[in-house]
Amino acid sequence: MAQTWAVLAALLFLLINLVEGPAYNMVSVEAGHEAVLSCPYVSKVSLLMVTWKMKCSACCLLAYRSDHNETRKLNCSERMMWKYSPSSDPALRIYPVNLGDEGNYTCEIASSAGNFLFFSSLTVIVPPTVTLTCDERRVVVCQASAGKPAADISWIPASNHSTMEEVHHPNGTVTRVSYTGWVNSTLPTVTCLVTHPATNQTLSLDLSYTSPRLPYLLIGGSASVAAVSGVTLCLIFRCRAFRLRKSARGLAVPFATKNFRSTPSHEKTDAVKPPALSESIYQNYNPRMIYMGY
């Protein structure tokens, strides 16, 4: 009879384990916020030890022993700690959480009733950086950079000519870029809608201020400025050349006048001329007016 009850108890224990299995918890937290991983515990059962482990070779191990009232940390950063007192609620707190904390965690409880395992999966969400731009060809670009998971991009009004590009980064984030042409559209405003678990953003762009003729106007303005500058410089150099030629002519006349001397006769050597008459002769001298008579 005793053996029958033992076999029934073993079968019942096996059936409970097959039906219930270990507890499993999934937690999603935005980067920079607080992550709390719970470890269910019935306070009526005497607790001997609780241990938190992250599934990797050199990751954090956080343990508590009730008989020594002692806690230990191994390879754990200051961001990982007990949320409450481990003797009453051995929940794990991570603050602020980052992408490196993502993964699977195990909470193991040893008590007078036996050993219990609880599994948690932590997922870190990163909101993307959203931008909306337009080039000179009226191609509108909506970009959701470094998001995790990848953001969804849609257009208002809907466009059938949009294209999508996706770039995966080593840290697990994804950048998505959507292009759409708005050349033949009569609507002055285009709207980009970005949907993400961490944030939903709507950006609008007024296309009436983006004209494809703007580059040509800029080029025409630059050419006009260059032409005016060239004409101005040409006039300046021409005026300077004219002044230099005029100055050279003005200097040449006094030079020839002062160096000109007629050979006086011996009869008139001793004659003294009035100073005013001598100066007037040199001032009114012009080589072209000399008449040589024989």
Write the pLDDT tens digit of every residue in 172-186: 999 999 999 876 557
Write the pLDDT tens digit of every residue in 58-93: 788 999 998 888 999 998 889 999 999 888 889 999
**Mean pLDDT over residues 283-291, rounded?**
46
Question: Where does the pLDDT of residue 239 fall: very low under 50, low under 70, confident under 90, or very high at 90 and above?
Answer: low
Flag whether pLDDT at 237 surpasses 70.
no
Q: Residue 242: give the domain boundaries.
A: 213-254
Do 91 and 29 fall within a single domain?
A: yes
Q: What separation in angstroms does the CA of 278 have from each of 70, 82, 116, 130, 270?
A: 127, 120, 134, 95, 15
Q: With a threshold of 0.75, does the pTM exceed it?
A: no
Flag whether pLDDT at 222 surpasses 50.
no
**Mean pLDDT over residues 218-238, rounded?**
50
Do 137 and 67 fall within a single domain?
A: no
Do 218 and 205 fall within a single domain?
A: no
Do 106 and 165 fall within a single domain?
A: no
Flag whether pLDDT at 276 surpasses 60.
no
Do 120 and 25 fall within a single domain?
A: yes
**Mean pLDDT over residues 12-32, rounded?**
65
CATH classification of the domain holding 179: 2.60.40.10
Domain tally for the chain? Answer: 3
Share the mean pLDDT of the chain. 74
**Mean pLDDT over residues 14-43, rounded?**
75
Residue 9 placed within a domain: no
**Mean pLDDT over residues 110-117, rounded?**
88
**Mean pLDDT over residues 266-270, rounded?**
44
Residue 140 exposure: Cα atoms within 13 Å on the Cβ side: 29
Residue 13 placed within a domain: no
d(CA 189, CA 68): 69
d(CA 146, CA 13): 49
Residue 151, judged by CB atoms within 10 A of its CB (0-12, 13-18, 19+), counts as: buried
Write the pLDDT tens digit of every residue in 194-204: 999 999 999 99
Flag whether pLDDT at 152 surpasses 50.
yes
